[in-house]
Amino acid sequence: MANVVVVGSQWGDEGKGKIVDWLSERADVVVRYQGGHNAGHTLVIDGVSYKLSLLPSGLVRGKFSVIGNGVVVDPHHFVAEIAKIAAQGISVTPDVLRIAENAPLILSLHRELDALREDSNSGLKIGTTRRGIGPAYEDKVGRRAIRVCDLGEPETLMDKIERLLTHHNALRRGMGAAEVEAQVIHDELMAVADQILPFMDRVWELLDERRKRGERILFEGAQGALLDNDHGTYPFVTSSNTVAGQAAPGSGLGPTAVDYVLGITKAYTTRVGEGPFPTEQDNETGQFLGERGHEFGTVTGRKRRCGWFDAVIVKQTVRTSGIHGIALTKLDVLDGLDEIKVCVGYELDGERIDHLPASMGAQSRVKPIYETLEGWKETTAGARSWAELPAQAIKYVRRVEELIGATVALLSTSPEREDTILVQDPFQD
């Protein structure tokens, strides 16, 4: 019996959705514990694709799922996403989904502030998803957020909104934006309250009880460790902790609830939005990876930046997230390349280093040191057993394991659910 955390080990879009869906067959509960609808998790089952942003990926298998308190919830998006997957035949009712009563809400003013900041000439452009994630987390930490449970107390909701607006309207005046009236926010929330409240629950207690009954919990991370607010490429990060440790406070369980950490790792590297990316290939190689890997953002449709595998950052994530094993995804995208490069260290101001430095300046100056491996001409796409892999592909996998200090537990060879090779079951560790 084990509870497993799935965490992105690069800059997001590593294939977490596919792996969570695959693993959820073995789990009893699937929990989202951070982020919001900035995430875009794609699952492909028998050629049909499902795109989830806020809802846990376990729902596609009908697994009992939870949106933990560490998630920021846009209530209108919540309702819309449920409708969207209902149209694909997946029914989401309170029988299969609960939301933490203490989860903070994303309001229209958060979305507007996100966009105002991104569009301002004086600000630092992060290239956010413009979904209000950062501003909503700021209000949570600032102790003025409206939370799910507040929807159930309409008599005091107006006071809370007014208190929130003393902050936001001052900010908006300073940015030259129109002030917001409390009634507008009140109406916006009341329009969806009845559709959210049936899902509300004391999630910390529910999860603890299920855990004690011996149920297996699968924690579904969003984004990736390099987008972590503390450990990522700050300030080009998201506004939550994305490292595996967040699974506990983001769901209301203690750290001892986690038994195994699975790092989802793409066989090359991608990033959406601004910020340092040492192994980026703004050339034919990047174009090849982008086209082969269909590297377009699920949420914003933006083209993802592509580059070689960076063992330095993944090795760092193995340490900052306490990764036991990895799920290596998109190996098939490398099929047909004559040679494949892997970053094994950085050069910073004439010195060799083996970590990503913390400062923004140093991060932008590091130069990758590459090792070149021989590619393979055979196809790995759709392989379902280790024996189907060409020798050079196995060599590549083994070298990645050596460089990052973690072994491959799962290998993914296409977007399809079943094109997955199990090497070591995280739930049986």
Q: Catalytic residue among 76, 77, 110, 140, which?
A: 140
407 marked as binding residue: no
CB atoms within 10 A of CB 166: 9
Taking the chain, what is the end-to-end CA distance rounded to the nearest angstrom? 8
Q: Which does 38 bind (CB under 5 to 8 A by kind): ligand IMO, ligand GDP, Mg ion, none?
A: ligand IMO
- 264-303: which residues touch Mg ion (CB under 5 A)? 298
Q: Among 6, 7, 8, 110, which residue sits at the site for ligand IMO (rule: CB under 6 A)?
A: 8
Q: How far apart are CA 97 and CA 66, in angstroms?
A: 6
Q: Among 23, 30, 99, 133, which residue sits at the site for ligand IMO (rule: CB under 6 A)?
A: 133
Q: Catalytic residue among 37, 41, 266, 315, which?
A: 41
CB atoms within 10 A of CB 294: 11
335 marked as binding residue: no
Question: Active-site residue 41, yes or no?
Answer: yes
Q: Which does 21 bind (CB under 5 to 8 A by kind): Mg ion, ligand GDP, ligand IMO, none?
A: none
Element (H, E) at 208: helix 203-212
Residues that contact ligand IMO, how many (by CB under 6 A): 23
Kindly write down the DSSP assignment for every residue of 342-396, as one continuous string.
EEEEEEETTEEESS--SSHHHHHH-EEEEEEEE--SS--TT--SGGGS-HHHHHH
Tell me the closest approach of the beta carbon of residue 118 to ligand IMO, in angstroms. 9
Buried b (16+ CB within 10 A) or exposed e, 417-427: bebbbeeeebb
Tell me the closest approach of the beta carbon of residue 148 to ligand GDP, in angstroms. 24
What's the sign of the alpha-carbon dihedral 298, 293, 223, 117?
A: negative
Q: Among 4, 5, 7, 15, which residue sits at the site for ligand GDP (rule: CB under 6 A)?
A: 15
Q: Using DSSP bridges, classify how beta strands 48-52 and 41-45 pair: parallel, antiparallel or unpaired.
A: antiparallel
Cis ω before 235 (30° cut-off from 0): yes
CB-nearer residue toward ligand IMO: 7 or 82: 7
Residue closest to 306 by CA, chosen among 43, 13, 50: 13
Q: How far apart are CA 54 and CA 352, in angstroms?
A: 41
Q: Among 58, 75, 250, 273, which residue sits at the site for ligand IMO (rule: CB under 6 A)?
A: 273
Point out which residues pair with 417 in neighbouring strands.
Answer: none
The reply to whether 224 sits near Mg ion by the rule CB under 5 A is no
Element (H, E) at 329: strand 325-329
CB-nearer residue toward Mg ion: 40 or 245: 40
The reply to whether 305 sits near ligand IMO by the rule CB under 6 A is no
Residues 386 and 421 sit within 8 Å (Cβ to Cβ): yes
Q: Catalytic residue among 13, 21, 139, 228, which?
A: 13
Q: Among 9, 169, 229, 239, which residue sits at the site for ligand IMO (rule: CB under 6 A)?
A: 239
User: Count of residues for the chain?
Assistant: 429
Q: Which of the stretches 37-45, 143-151, 192-200, 403-411 binds ligand IMO when contact is defined by CB under 6 A?
A: 37-45
The reply to whether 102 sits near ligand GDP by the rule CB under 6 A is no
CB-nearer residue toward ligand GDP: 37 or 41: 41
The reply to whether 117 sits near ligand IMO by the rule CB under 6 A is no
Residue closest to 126 by CA, chosen among 273, 277, 300, 226: 273
Q: How far apart are CA 80 and CA 38, in angstroms?
A: 15
- 31-90: which residues touch ligand GDP (CB under 6 A)? 40-42, 44
Q: Among 6, 9, 13, 100, which residue sits at the site for ligand IMO (rule: CB under 6 A)?
A: 13
The reply to whether 281 sits near ligand IMO by the rule CB under 6 A is no
The reply to whether 223 sits near ligand IMO by the rule CB under 6 A is yes
Tell me the closest approach of the beta carbon of residue 233 to ligand IMO, in angstroms. 9
> Within 13 Å of residue 75, how many CA atoms lie on the same side as its CB?
29
CB-nearer residue toward Mg ion: 169 or 329: 329
The reply to whether 321 sits near ligand IMO by the rule CB under 6 A is no
The reply to whether 333 sits near ligand GDP by the rule CB under 6 A is yes
Q: How far apart are CA 32 and CA 21, in angstroms?
A: 13
Q: Among 14, 74, 118, 280, which residue sits at the site for ligand GDP (rule: CB under 6 A)?
A: 14
Q: Which residues form the catalytic set?
A: 13, 41, 140
Q: Which residues lie near ligand IMO (CB under 6 A)?
A: 8, 11-13, 38-41, 126-129, 131, 133-134, 222-224, 227, 238-239, 272-273
